[in-house]
Amino acid sequence: MKRVRKALLRGLLGLAVLGAVLALADPARVAAQLGRAQPLWLAAGLAAGIASNLVSALRWRALARWLGADVSVRDACRWYFQAIGLNALLPGAVVGGDVYRAVVLRRAGQDTAASGWSVVLDRTSGLWMLCAIGGLGAAACAAALAPWLRLPAGVFAALMLAGTALWLLLPWGLPLLLHSGRWNKGWLAPLRAAALRPDFGRQWVWQAVASAAVQLLSAAALAGGGLALGVQLSAGAWAWAIAPVFLMAALPVSVGGWGTREAAAVAALAPFGVAAPAAVGVGVIYGVYGLAQGALGALAFGLPRGAQR
């Protein structure tokens, strides 16, 4: 009962945020923007979103296999797209889908630790690269973003580049951090064993490349939604925008990121002169992409097993 109350609370909070954002942006103007959306750009954005999640599924599969969990390409794609559908419909943003992936992998007879850590590390690597690409995008758009922080553009760009470089180096310190034997206990033991493997560097490079492809395709999907509404920005601007938009959408305070994603879109695109109705429209379109992919995943790969329960 307590969980039901929490879920209901999250859903109401997300709806309240979405309602507030729509009210500030003027619902009529948002609807008018969406009504003028260009179908070809909408389709291009959806195609980029699907490609992004296909790469995500293959990235997760590679990581799971590296950790010792045997999963086929079909199962990885099926479970990943089912998780997208759960993320779009359940309270808790990405949490529900991530838990689902770990559970189905475990129920398929795979090791519990490998199942859980494959999802945790997969999500972590995605967020790691998301922030890195967002930092690079911010540096490229220093002239537009720096005034908002009252900093010279050169100083802002230098800070973003330095911070991004340090951020990209962060995972390479994991083996050093876990080298001590005190980490070889409990739930951290599998992570320590993986980090100390000789092929850790090769696997992490693969994760980095795959995660970069995922985020760039996601940025293309967001840009496709923007272009459908006539929002034309540089590649750097869209690279910057994905960081706040996707991070806010991932917060477990709404259903499927509705409300928080649109609020972040308004804030992220405002420095580039994008009006609130158009920015809200971009966020809504990206949310619809998630719903569409969850539906396509169910049709193409089947509903979650045990869905009747």
CA nearest to 279, candidates 210, 230, 235? 230
The 10 Å CB-count burial string (b at 16+, else e) for 73-91 is eebbbbbbbbbbbbbbebb
* Residue bearing the bigger pLDDT, 163 or 106: 163
Question: Is a pLDDT exceeding 70 seen at residue 180?
Answer: no
Domain that holds residue 281: 47-301
**What is the phi/psi pair of residue 91, to 5°?**
-65, 145
**What is the phi/psi pair of residue 151, to 5°?**
-120, 150
In a domain, 32, yes or no: no
* Number of domains present in the structure of the chain: 1
In a domain, 5, yes or no: no
In a domain, 167, yes or no: yes
In a domain, 42, yes or no: no
In a domain, 38, yes or no: no
Judged by DSSP in three states, 257 sits in coil
Looking at residue 306, what is its pLDDT? 45
* Residue bearing the bigger pLDDT, 219 or 173: 219
pLDDT (tens digit per residue) in 59-97: 999 999 888 888 899 889 988 988 887 777 666 555 677
In a domain, 25, yes or no: no
What pTM did the predictor assign? 0.86
In a domain, 54, yes or no: yes
In a domain, 63, yes or no: yes
Question: Is a pLDDT exceeding 60 seen at residue 288?
Answer: yes
Question: Is a pLDDT exceeding 70 seen at residue 227?
Answer: yes
Looking at residue 308, what is its pLDDT? 37
Q: Are the CB atoms for 255 and 10 separated by under 8 Å? A: yes
- Where does the pLDDT of residue 197 fall: very low under 50, low under 70, confident under 90, or very high at 90 and above? confident
CA nearest to 232, candidates 181, 184, 174, 272? 272
Residue 275: C-alpha distances to residues 229, 232, 282 (Å): 11, 12, 11
Residues 43, 246: Cα–Cα separation, whole Å: 20
